[in-house]
Structure 1
Amino acid sequence: MSTDAPDPLLTSLLAAVDAAPDDVPLRLHVAELLLARGRGAEALQHCSRALTAAPGDPPARGLLRRGTAALAAPQSPQSRPPAVPPAAPAAGGTERPPARPDFDWRQAEEDVADVPQLEPAFVEEAGDPVVEDVLHAAPTVRLADVGGMEQVKQRLELSFLGPMRNPEMAKAFGKGLAGGLLLYGPPGCGKTFLARAVAGELGAGFSEVGISDVLDMWMGRSERNLAEIFRVARRKAPHVLFLDEIDALGQKRSHLTHSAGLRNVVNQLLTEMDSLSGKNDGVFVLGATNHPWDIDSALRRPGRFDRMLLVLPPDEPAREAILRHNLHKRPIEGIDLGKLVKATDGYSGADLAHLCDTAAERALADSVRTGRVRPLTTKDVLTAAREVQPSTGPWFATARNVALFGNSDGSYDELAAYLKKNRKL
């Protein structure tokens, strides 16, 4: 195709690139068109700009390789220039490739000089996914740092921490040094903080694994990411793997009939958690979810998440500790914590933090208006409590139906007892 003929489409696209220079997909589309029209040097310039904006972008790298190969490839017989004598051998006997007078190599090197140095594509594709960034040392927080929630702490101690702290005794009773515990309850009630405290009590490393650390757009990568996370945790045992929002990674496979990728992730998670071979000794798996009823039943099998612990909204001692923590660094005056605790029954920990922020905003607005700092008072917090309602209501509405109609195996007896005691059932 002649490069001298006017091309309205390409002219419009080049103008669009000038208007949006950081639009990488648009720039790569223009580079494709330029390469197809025989304007390889210009295509390389756009590849360079794209890789500067998005280092490692696979389409940009692939296009860069194609463009470079096209420029370096011999031309067809119809367009090949007259033959020229071969270049003399370089010092040391290495023969240089034949010179191409129609291609300016110096200009090509300048075009790609600002492209970041990257590993070859096959090295990245063959390597293991990087998971070290989700693995951390043992947390310093302990259960004593969790305000209130004494019943939850006792359940943790009896069913999970006690056997882990006494491995010889546990083995005498046939209990392996592995375990799976599922924390469930309304959002914002401290499940992640409890998981960190468990790791701190065990003196174990801690990994908080979210869905973004596992799922990948490429086929098979999600399963490999999950397998690698478990492999590294085993190597660093004792280690606590905390799988946040486990219902997203371990959904019921009956709900995934049209999503083979997620079904494979669930299958991989089941394989990694299978403790029959003892390969998970020293790896303690904790899961957290707001919707345990959406988790695949195979994950609840003995040897996997065979224990469940209900984490409810903070009780009075816990609410006092949370309110004290969120108020103590702010200017306060005459705060009656007892009155605030009574007024915030049913609030989650996140709700209480938001309540304190809302009250602080009111005091800050008054301070800005008067030009002097006005401390927070009990009235500010109580006024904010009329605006900030507990966010746990919708969760309990769903949980009530589960406790009434989905508790045939007794899994939710603890939840049903709480709802009955608080007259929500």
Structure 2
Amino acid sequence: MTDPLIDSLRRAVDGAPDDIALRLHLAELLLTAGNVDDAITHCATVLSQDPASGPARALMARAMGPAQSTPAESAVETGGFNWSAAEHEVSGIAEPMFVTGDDEQAEPATSAWEVESAGISLADVGGMRAVKDRLEAAFLAPMRNPELRKLYGKSLRGGLMLYGPPGCGKTFIARAVAGELGARFVSVGLADILDMYIGNSERNIAELFRLVRREAPCVLFLDEIDALGQKRSGTHNASMRGAVVQLLTELDGVAGQNEGVFVLAATNQPWDVDPALRRPGRLDRTLLVLPPDAEAREAVFRYHLRHRPVEGIDLRRLAKATEGFSGADIAHVCESASELALMDSARSGQARMIGMADIEAALREVRPSIGAWLETARNVVLFADEDGTYTELRTYLKKAKRL
């Protein structure tokens, strides 16, 4: 039987889709009624509109967490007094008699990592249609379609490794994925994890995963994964080997702890990553992020010139002239053009606009920076790709006439 109140709220939400409070009230009722998938759908809609919504995040975490029995049910199951319920009732009145020392249950007062709202979405990423389509299939479509996810047995857990030349926007893309999911975003680099003292690196990794599980839905971005997860066969450092083992353990997420945690990693050297990290259930999917296409290069120029005094800028012409440039190279071009205009203004004593002549002069000085990476990639494709892992990279190198 259907609930008349829920049916009325559904119609009200259809009539006012932007009413966040109304949609959350409906999601709460759906979750209470046991309709978890619909509740997740409405929570995801709210988070896409307001990624910082605390009530939506809390409700999403409840919906995606393990089912819990009510105190009354627990008492019936055990056939006696419900000590857990009684302890919960007096927890705010009486201090606990003993300290368990269970760090897994304790909430730390502070965290070494910053949990952010992404603030952007894939709509802010210019071009890169193939990358967006792959991300849609890997993460976004299952989140938006809980009924299909349930039908096809698709878990909300996931790991994907972004690889490609340096400066091509891998971090920006990871942040945009978090924005699309309405999820929190935690970015971690090598220096945030590794510690000179034995055991501390493993402890840092364990604490990091406890944090992102509490913040679920959350995107964890691991930068420089080739350094953090380097091949154990190639290192004699016991601390590094222990860190890799701990990372593997956390990625496995014993007992489904990683539900709602989306792990994205980035590297310029995927061939240096420990093969165990790329087994099923871990970072088992890879995505090649190439230098920006023409549409993306226009967007990068527009972004880096948006707050500078410019006139007569032909973005299409600049995009055509910078084929093979990374996003970082284009940023350098814009910075160099600004310096030329600034120095000219300082000499003349009169400020002037940045024009095409300045950018073209900068282009004569700035060359693409990814040549060395392409040469290394070429050697890997030719001599170390027996299993076809880098088929997509091989296709690109042939197109770029590097093979």
Per-residue deviation, residues 200-256 of structure 1 (Å, max 9, x unmatched): 111111100111211112210110110011012112211111001111110000111
Return the alpha-carbon distance in structure 2 between the equivalents of residues 135 and 234 of structure 1. Answer: 14
Could you tell me which residue of structure 2 aligns to residue 213 of structure 1? 192
Q: Is the 1:128–1:228 contact (alpha carbons within 8 Å) kept by the matching residues of 2?
A: no
Amino acid at match of 1:251: Q
Return the alpha-carbon distance in structure 2 between the equivalents of residues 168 and 130 of structure 1. Answer: 38
Could you tell me which residue of structure 1 aligns to residue 264 of structure 2? 286
Return the alpha-carbon distance in structure 2 between the equivalents of residues 328 and 272 of structure 1. Answer: 42
Per-residue deviation, residues 82-119 of structure 1 (Å, max 9, x unmatched): xxxxxxxxxxxxxxxxxxxxxxxxxxxxxxxxxxxxxx
Could you tell me which residue of structure 2 aligns to residue 388 of structure 1? 366
Per-residue deviation, residues 159-215 of structure 1 (Å, max 9, x unmatched): 222123323422332222100000000111000000000011111111001112111
Amino acid at match of 1:213: D
Could you tell me which residue of structure 2 aligns to residue 200 of structure 1? 179
Relative to structure 2, which stretch is displaced further, 132-141 or 353-362? 132-141
Return the alpha-carbon distance in structure 2 between the equivalents of residues 156 and 131 of structure 1. Answer: 32
Could you tell me which residue of structure 1 aligns to residue 152 of structure 2? 173
1:187 to 2:143 alignment: no
Return the alpha-carbon distance in structure 1 between the equivalents of residues 171 and 391 of structure 2. Answer: 23
C-alpha displacement at 1:276, in angstroms? 6.0
Could you tell me which residue of structure 1 aligns to residue 330 of structure 2? 352
1:158 to 2:156 alignment: no
Residue 300 of structure 1: which of 278, 286, 305 is its match?
278
Q: How does 1:397-416 map to 2 (within 5 A)?
A: 397-416=375-394
**Matched residue SS, 2:255:** coil
Amino acid at match of 1:410: G
Per-residue deviation, residues 123-156 of structure 1 (Å, max 9, x unmatched): 9xxx998862424243120000101111111111
Amino acid at match of 1:207: V
Change (3 A) 1:247 1:130: farther
1:319 to 2:323 alignment: no
Return the alpha-carbon distance in structure 1 between the equivalents of residues 269 and 313 of structure 2. Answer: 36
Return the alpha-carbon distance in structure 2 between the equivalents of residues 152 and 249 of structure 1. Answer: 24
1:236 to 2:215 alignment: yes
Amino acid at match of 2:276: A
Could you tell me which residue of structure 2 aligns to residue 105 of structure 1? none
| CA RMSD in angstroms, aligned pairs only | 1.9
Change (3 A) 1:137 1:332: closer
**Matched residue SS, 1:277:** helix
C-alpha displacement at 1:309, in angstroms? 0.4
Structure 2 segments unaligned to the other structure (5+ residues):
1-100
The number of residue pairs the alignment matches comes to 300
Could you tell me which residue of structure 2 aligns to residue 423 of structure 1? 401
Could you tell me which residue of structure 1 aligns to residue 123 of structure 2? 144
Q: Is the 1:348–1:390 contact (alpha carbons within 8 Å) kept by the matching residues of 2?
A: yes
**Matched residue SS, 1:180:** strand
Change (3 A) 1:295 1:131: farther
Return the alpha-carbon distance in structure 2 between the equivalents of residues 166 and 210 of structure 1. Answer: 32
Residue 247 of structure 1: which of 226, 235, 242 is its match?
226
**Matched residue SS, 2:256:** coil
Change (3 A) 1:416 1:129: farther
Q: Is the 1:227–1:272 contact (alpha carbons within 8 Å) kept by the matching residues of 2?
A: yes
1:132 to 2:111 alignment: yes
Q: Is the 1:167–1:177 contact (alpha carbons within 8 Å) kept by the matching residues of 2?
A: no
Return the alpha-carbon distance in structure 1 between the equivalents of residues 107 and 118 of structure 2. Answer: 27
Q: Percent identity?
A: 62
Q: Whose RCO is larger (CA < 8 A, sep 6+)?
A: 2
Amino acid at match of 1:146: V
Runs of 4+ residues over 6 Å off in structure 1? 127-131
Change (3 A) 1:366 1:198: same
Q: Is the 1:234–1:283 contact (alpha carbons within 8 Å) kept by the matching residues of 2?
A: yes
Could you tell me which residue of structure 2 aligns to residue 73 of structure 1? none
Q: Is the 1:222–1:265 contact (alpha carbons within 8 Å) kept by the matching residues of 2?
A: yes
**Matched residue SS, 1:284:** strand
1:333 to 2:314 alignment: no
Amino acid at match of 1:209: V
**Matched residue SS, 1:273:** helix
Per-residue deviation, residues 15-39 of structure 1 (Å, max 9, x unmatched): xxxxxxxxxxxxxxxxxxxxxxxxx
Change (3 A) 1:331 1:337: same
Return the alpha-carbon distance in structure 1 between the equivalents of residues 109 and 190 of structure 2. Answer: 15
